[in-house]
């Protein structure tokens, strides 16, 4: 991760961040962290396979309840923090949206596949920002270097945590009334 530094620059809002992104190279991945554009590390093969597996599993579940699963490209913003924007690896949202929207603030489910370089940011700052989004019901962290999934589910006034490392276990996706097996997430990786 590398932060974009300009001593004279004020904190960017999500809209200003989109204008910033328009000036960057397409292959770069950025997030807006505390109002500062931060370049994110690109994933590896295992990271990409895990994201694909999650999306493939979520897409039909989401469609069955009138929602959509989205992979990495769109930004999630927070209605309570105008200085945050990130593109989760996979997320689900429900309801109408503008066809050409570049950012959304109404996810119901977010998946982040953790890498060693982004783990503390994802599980710390980004978790706090996601947790502040009123529509969000579940945040799931998937480890790419071991079979471990942390599923946080909104249980007012707190979030409840389910950690499962058993390869044969599944964890609940309450929005869909379904389970997602750990084996599905790690399919075709050497961790399956």
In this structure, are residues 174 and 60 in contact, taking their beta carbons and an 8 Å threshold? no
pLDDT of residue 8: 42
* The CATH number of domain 43-185, selected from 3.90.1570.10, 3.90.1010.10, 3.40.50.300, 3.30.750.24: 3.90.1570.10
Question: Higher model confidence: residue 154 or residue 19?
Answer: 154
pLDDT of residue 7: 39
* 9-52 confidence digits (pLDDT tens): 689 888 888 888 888 876 677 777 888 888 777 778 999 999 99
What is the C-alpha to C-alpha distance for residues 189 and 47, in angstroms, rounded to an integer? 9
pTM of the model: 0.85
Q: How many CA atoms lie within 13 A of 57 on its CB side?
A: 23
* 81-97 confidence digits (pLDDT tens): 999 999 999 999 999 98
What SS3 class is residue 187?
coil
The mean predicted confidence, pLDDT, of the chain is 88
Sequence ranges of the domains in the chain: 43-185
Q: Which one, of 17, 10, 47, 11, lies nearest residue 31 by Cα?
A: 17
């Amino acid at each position: 991760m590398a932060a974009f530094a300009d001593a004279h620059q004020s904190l960017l809002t999500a809209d200003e961040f989109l204008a910033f992104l328009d000036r960057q190279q397409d292959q770069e991945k950025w997030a807006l962290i505390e109002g500062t554009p931060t370049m994110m590390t690109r994933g590896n093969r295992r990271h990409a396979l895990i994201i694909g597996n999650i999306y493939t599993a979520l897409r039909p579940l989401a469609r069955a309840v009138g929602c959509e699963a989205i992979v990495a490209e769109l930004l999630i913003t927070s209605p309570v923090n105008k200085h945050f924007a990130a593109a989760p690896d996979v997320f689900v949202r429900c309801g109408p949206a503008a066809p050409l929207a570049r950012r959304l603030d109404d996810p119901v489910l977010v998946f982040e596949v953790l890498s060693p370089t982004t783990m503390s940011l994802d599980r710390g700052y980004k978790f706090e920002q996601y947790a502040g989004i009123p529509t969000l019901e579940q945040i799931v962290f998937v480890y790419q270097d071991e079979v471990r999934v942390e599923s946080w589910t909104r249980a007012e006034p707190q979030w409840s945590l389910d950690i499962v490392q058993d390869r044969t276990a599944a964890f609940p996706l309450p929005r869909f009334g379904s389970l997602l097996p750990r084996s599905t997430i790690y399919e075709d990786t050497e961790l399956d």
